[in-house]
Structure 1
C-alpha cells in the first residue's frame, strides 16, 4: 500500500482515524452557533 492509499478509501481512513477525537475540543471551542458551510472535503467527521 502506498503512503496515500489510506486517503483514497473512506473505509480505510475511518478504520484508522474514525475513533480519533482529540481534535474535537479545538474545533468546538472555535465554532459559534449559527450557519456553517460544509465544502464536502473528506469523510465529514468534523461536521
Structure 2
C-alpha cells in the first residue's frame, strides 16, 4: 500500500519491486525518517 499509511517512527521501508511512477516511489521511501530522523529504503528489482 503506497498511500494512506500513517504509522509513527518508521525507520525502514522495503520495496519488493518498483512502483508504477517515480512519484509513488518517492512517496513510499519518504515514509522512513520523517521529522528530521534518519531513514533507510531498500528496493529489490528483478530484470
TM-score for the superposition, normalised by structure 1: 0.25
The structure whose RCO (Cα within 8 Å, separation 6+) is larger is: 2
Name the structure with the higher helix share: 1
Compare the two structures and name the one with the higher strand fraction.
2
Larger Rg: 1
